[in-house]
Chain A
Amino acid sequence: MTWYIVRRFLQMIPVFLGATLLVYFLVFSLPGDATAAICGDRGCTPAVVAGLREQYNLDEPFFVQYLLYLKGVLTFDLGTNFSGRPIATIIAEVFPTTAKLALMALVLEAVFGIVFGLVAGLRKGKLFDSSVLVLSLVVIAVPIFVLGFLMQFLIGVKLQWTNPTVSGDATFTELLLPAVVLGLVSFAYVLRLTRTSIIENVNADYVRTATAKGLSRKRVVVVHVLRNSLIPVVTFLGADLGALMGGAIVTEGIFNVNGVGNTLYRAVLNGDGPMVVSIVTFLILIFVLANLLVDLLYAWLDPRIRYA
């Protein structure tokens, strides 16, 4: 097991190198001069431009630039963005908000998705099942920004149950609505996945045997059906955690959340290369860690899986 975890961490090295190289290359090959983005419409004096080119190693060949960047990362120096703020500070500032939002969304989608999926799976073909299926299909089919703006308008503006946008403090109540919107699509997937998994397991031989042993229906469902059905669901949730951490660009935009997604979005618009590369790399690492977590959880849920 220890060996397995060590190996998984070692595997992160090529993933990290490959991903940064790719992202660095993409940013590098963006058309236009990077300094133009910093200077804006007014333009800078040639001396300032030369200084900037010096500071960000823009005159070096691609690989030298990349290696210099790598050196910075390995010495825990992510450098500064185009406005001169240390990138590490910015990430440290916005990440907690995004993490909070992602975790809230994850809990919401997991709890509601599993409960609804369980009930729907046990009552396959009944009214509850059919209506929940249709509803989940609607949620999956309608783009997230439509749902986001709709819910912001109805709940935030019309009913005024909560603030339509999130302040700098990003309190729990403020984040609730964005978290619901963020988790909505995944909720629909979790629901469908749980439902399918339950339907499959309800007819499993060991469930019939458990029933024949004289166990109550409740115990059969909770102890024998649910745990086995959660194995694929947990895999999905784990992968989704990684996605939620970085994929909240639209939701953060709608509700004006000062999180990673919004920051990344602004950096891309500004052509802020160092910022984009650093944030994306950070997100990749989180994604890889989330996957490792899933695999370990998986082994815990299913004793047949043993890593060596």
Chain B
Amino acid sequence: MSHSIGMDDVRGSTPRPGADDAVPLLELRDLAITFATSNGDVEAVRNAHLTVMPGETVAIVGESGSGKSTTALAAIGLLPGNGRVSNGSIIFDGEDITRASRKRIVELRGSSIGMVPQDPMSNLNPVWKIGFQVRETLRANGLPSGPQDVAKVLEEAGLPDAESRANQYPHEFSGGMRQRALIAIGLSCRPRLLIADEPTSALDVTVQRQILDHLDTMTEQLGTAVLLITHDLGLAAERAHKVIVMYRGQVVEAGPALELLTNPRHPYTQKLVASAPSIASRRIASAKKAHVVTGDDLAPAVPVDAAKDSVIEVSDLTKVFKLRGSWGRSTDFTAVDDVSFSVQRGTTTAVVGESGSGKSTVAKMVLGLEDATSGSIRFDGVDITTLGRKDLFDFRRRVQPIFQDPYGSLDPMYNIYRTIEEPLRVHGIGDSKSREKKVRELLDQVALPSSMMQRFPNELSGGQRQRVAIARALALDPEVVICDEAVSALDVLVQAQILNLLADLQSELGLSYLFITHDLAVVRQIADHVAVMEKGRLVEQGTTDEVFDNPQTAYTQALLAAIPGAGLELPPEAA
């Protein structure tokens, strides 16, 4: 499909606030955005159409590089220095602002169009207090900016104890609190339109839900229209009246949220609907009710009696860190508190929890990268916490990790061949000829061409890098692979591919996975067993179906309720 679909093509229309006054609040017509690069001009967005009515929430969905953020940022003149609107027009409230003066744009920013950015960690200036950063927003837009006004704005965004919090620096805030501060700033001047650029993708699911709920309530009360940018179709469908799907700089489909989900027309949208974990997890739930088997459930059904053989048994595992205090004193911090679980051979066990729950520390201890304070980790019956240096070295052959960030976990100076071959060389396996053969096989297993051997990590996409990381983990024919957030840095489509690959490798090679993740939607797809961690303690464990269908603790219930799209009613066969 080469042409785009404008909002004229929208199928049906849902009643929405302010729909009867026909003047759209924001309208992008035939928008094209071009970036000047050293290789000439690159058109990042073409023929983009979109309309936001007053008070309406519109979501733009797409993968990274689809141009969704660029399109939205162009509306308030926030394109990076080398970008410009090369065609089309941006109309805000009847006024063409495509070529508006800088003065006019500055007037509109904050007071008419607010923004909530993506990453709460990098979007607050680290050297100024939160209160200062709110106050300057109010002052710049000519609103009263006394301490009580600042506190009121922060309170509205759900920040407890706002008056004293205003005197703290961003680094003293948690991610969720920072995002609340950013929402406070974005809405402080009562804009008519709020651009929310992946406002919660960096946050834990439960926090994500709270923040989005709060944002919904606030924008509804204030009558603010929202342009929500997200990569998660489930989240978009749940939050927005209208969804616009972007792919490679073009709007490929647009329509009311639920209709788009149940009846996607464009092949890309169909793929998105098929692979978004939040939706897939929803479908599995519906399918279970209807007793249908869908292709979404990647975990093989394990016969109960086969599950007797534990390859890893963690019992009473505890990790205490010493935190350095002032005057040379130190305090104890218990990161992992008396945790016991096991991984059955040939199955996937997921350890789920929010950041700070201790799940990654568990993974590190199982890998032998961090010493346990007490407790035991039995691998095939042998306690690895007592292993000597040499035995530990042998143990590492049998347990291999795949880490979250495929950009950080591959040495940029090693080519792909050397990256995958290194573990073989370190463990003295084979000669150079047999090692090369092995590397070819491994690349074949992870569906990468062997021509890739001479390339370097920076020439590869995120998904390709993660395949290389998997190949490297498999090089030593391990029995257990520990995936520490192995797919959370990837786009949904790539995520689905990697999950499928991991599932295929498992049935082919009989691997056992210990899957560390915060994403319950992924867990539903891939895990046989789930262990839920909260603040260092294991609060619940069981088979995936048990935990998902009948969660015992309030914490697990909250986690499950927080999966985006949980409220959507989908027929099991929708795909």
Q: Which A residues fall within an 8 A CB radius of B?
A: 3, 203-217, 219, 223-224, 227-228, 301-304, 308
Contacts and interface: CB of A to CB of B under 8 A. Distances in A.
B122 interface: yes
Contact of A206 (B114, B125, B137): B125
Interface of B: 76, 78, 80-81, 102, 106-111, 114-115, 117-119, 122-128, 133, 136-137, 140-141, 169, 171, 182, 185-186, 189, 324-328
Contacts of A210: 125, 133
Given A206-B123, A217-B102, A304 B107 contact: no
A213 B137 contact: yes
Contact of B109 (A205, A212, A219, A302): A212
B115 A212 contact: yes
Contacts of B127: 227-228, 301-304
Contacts of A212: 76, 78, 109-110, 114-115, 117, 186
B80 A203 contact: yes
B111 A3 contact: no
A209 B182 contact: yes
Nearest to A210: B125
A283 to B, nearest CB: 32
A234 B122 CA distance: 22
A92 B137 CA distance: 53
Contacts of B78: 208, 211-212
13 contacts: A3-B328, A203-B80, A209-B124, A210-B133, A213-B136, A214-B137, A215-B110, A219-B140, A223-B136, A228-B127, A303-B169, A304-B126, A304-B169
B73 to A, nearest CB: 8
B341 to A, nearest CB: 37
Given A214-B111, A214-B137, A303-B169, A228 B126 contact: yes
A228 B125 contact: yes
B106 A216 contact: yes
A21 B546 CA distance: 72
A203 B127 CA distance: 16
A16 B301 CA distance: 71
Given A216-B140, A228-B125, A228-B127, A205 B325 contact: no
Contacts of A308: 324-327
Contacts of B76: 212
A218 to B, nearest CB: 11
B117 A209 contact: yes
Nearest to B102: A217
A213 B326 contact: no
A113 B128 CA distance: 24
A83 B124 CA distance: 63
A213 B117 contact: no
B326 A219 contact: no
A304 B140 contact: no
Could you say which of A3, A205, A217, A224 has the most chain B C-beta atoms within 10 Å of its C-beta? Answer: A205
Given A210-B125, A214-B109, A205 B324 contact: no
Could you say which of A203, A213, A303 has the most chain B C-beta atoms within 10 Å of its C-beta? Answer: A213
Give me the 3 closest cross-chain CB pairs, A-B, nearest first: A214-B110, A212-B115, A214-B109
